[in-house]
Amino acid sequence: MHNNTTADTYERPKFTEEMHRDYTILVPNMLPVQLGLVCRLMRNFGYNMELLHTSGPNIAEQGLRNVHNDTCYPALLVIGQLMDAIESGRYDVHKLALILPQTGGGCRASNYIHLMRKALEKNGYGFIPVISLNFSGLEENPGFQLTKTMLMQVAYALLIGDLIMMVANQCRPYEAVPGSTDKAIQICMDAVTARFTGERLIRYGEVKHLYRYVLEAFGKVRLDKTRRKKLVGIVGEIYVKFSPLGNNHLEEFLLSEGCEPVLPGLMDFCLYCIYNAVIDRNLYGRNPKTATLYKLVYQFVLGKQADIIKLMKKDGHFRPPMPFDEVRQKARDIIGEGVKMGEGWLLPAEMVELIHEGVTNIVCTQPFGCLPNHIAGKGMIRKIREVYPQANIVAVDYDPGASKINQENRIKLMLSSAE
């Protein structure tokens, strides 16, 4: 039944406390490991969150039917994936809610939620609530309340998830037994979910124990390193960089080409966002108290990254990431820290990070409709090559009309000259 509410009288349906008990909350997929872990933790708090793993051309087609074709490719895929799930027949649409992040920043990601509601109204699903995941008071939903304990658990889960992703990527190309890396991922996710139970305050000592558990679990994966693999870094706009749906399963393709994909973690993006709030004081005269608070948060999160690096070095099986403060400083020769729209200065910074780690072959993923990332990504390649002549970088565009064959051929051409 179609909802005939007009735009003038429309009032968004809220996710209520009653819905908390028996609604399924669909989550679009960007980070399979990190978000998969978060969804499992949220079930401990009574939220039935389901991470979507769907793919195929129908999702882009759904997006094109429901979103203006000038909208950025990540928005099109996120909304297309959610609409595809709603219309799949797998769910009771009257017991369904959706969740989308809302940053309030300069990216159009802040408007995904409004585009999603418009698509729901258009298709007669205006009664489905869309939860705004934000930390700036943009919208409230009485049935979805993030407590301090939940936030702490989610933050720790993202740290552990980042570590799992990093070491899994270093195992999968060499696994002697196919599927053993994915099995290790599940073992680690089960261990985290079992430890993070309900409204219990997690001590950081327990988190460090889980870091060690992850390293030990992946250290047991039998690897065959008799054949050398080409290291290929993946950078770009955050959605197409991480999402298999967004980058046409780029990691799988690189594995099939005899490569080891190397992805800087989500931690870099989080530290980038926090640090931007610190330098806003110098750039734009931001409130000094706010800048001081973010500086403390920045140092706190840097400390957590340092713990992971220290444990990885001690374990000795896996390459640790470069400390973010070092990444930031190395990028200053390439780009100014005032470039902050999209992934801004982080994008060339991650290319510099990879090159310093010996990963000179890089795929820069660029989605349609994201001009800032084309400027900070593709636009900086020439400058990076001037400073680092050994850099072998290809920029690949992702959009609804792009041919997967053409994308893969561009990457194959880069790989033909790869070290």
Give the tens place of pLDDT for each residue, 34-89.
Answer: 999 999 999 988 899 999 999 888 999 999 999 887 788 998 999 999 999 999 99
What's residue 114's pLDDT?
87
Q: How far is residue 122's CA from residue 108's CA, in Å, rounded to a whole number?
A: 21
**What pLDDT score does 103 carry?**
67
Closest CA to 331 of 285, 274, 388, 390: 388
- Which pLDDT value is given to residue 6? 43
Task: Give the pair of three-digit tokens for residue 407.
Answer: 């994308």
Per-residue pLDDT, 7 = 44
Domains in the chain (CATH in brackets) are 17-144 (3.40.50), 229-265+327-419 (3.40.50.11900)
Would you say 52 and 82 are in contact if contact means Cβ atoms under 8 Å apart? Answer: yes
Mean pLDDT, range 130-149, rounded to an integer: 79
Q: Of 104, 115, 95, 114, nearest to 26 (Cα)?
A: 95
Which has more pLDDT, 373 or 28? 28
Nearest C-alpha neighbor of 361 from the set 266, 261, 276, 282: 261
In tens, the pLDDT along 75-86 reads 899 999 999 999
- Residue 335, SS3 per DSSP: coil
What is the Cα–Cα distance from 24 to 55, expressed in whole angstroms?
20
- Residues 6 or more apart whose CB falls under 8 angstroms from that of 400 comprise 60, 63, 64, 69, 73, 76, 368
Calculate the alpha carbon distances from 411 to 30, 233, 250, 254, 331 in Å: 22, 12, 10, 9, 25
Q: Is the dihedral of CA 276, 277, 281, 284 positive or negative?
A: positive
Least confident of 52-66, 103-117, 333-347: 103-117
Quote the CA–CA distance of 188 and 179 in Å, as a whole number: 15
Residue 390, pLDDT above cutoff 70: yes
Q: How far is CA 115 from CA 80, 119, 367, in A?
A: 11, 6, 18
- In angstroms, how far is the first alpha carbon of the chain from the final one? 59
Confidence bin at 290 (pLDDT 50/70/90): confident
Mean pLDDT in the chain? 90
Q: Mean pLDDT lowest for which of 61-70, 106-115, 134-143? A: 134-143
Q: What are the Cα distances from residue 253, in Å, to 237, 307, 319, 394?
A: 19, 32, 22, 15
236: exposed, middle or buried (Cβ count in 10 Å: 0-12, 13-18, 19+): buried
The closest of 354, 402, 392, 344 to 166, measured between CA atoms, is 354
For residues 222-234, give the mean pLDDT.
Answer: 93
Encoded amino acid at 203, one letter: R
Contact criterion met (CB below 8 Å) for 243 and 365? no
Half-sphere exposure of 36 (CA within 13 A, CB side): 15
- Mean pLDDT along residues 131-139: 72
Q: Token match 């870091």: residue?
A: 211
Q: What pLDDT shows up at residue 104?
A: 60
- Size (the chain), residues: 419
Residues 6+ apart with CB under 8 A from 333: 387
Three-state secondary-structure class, residue 301: helix
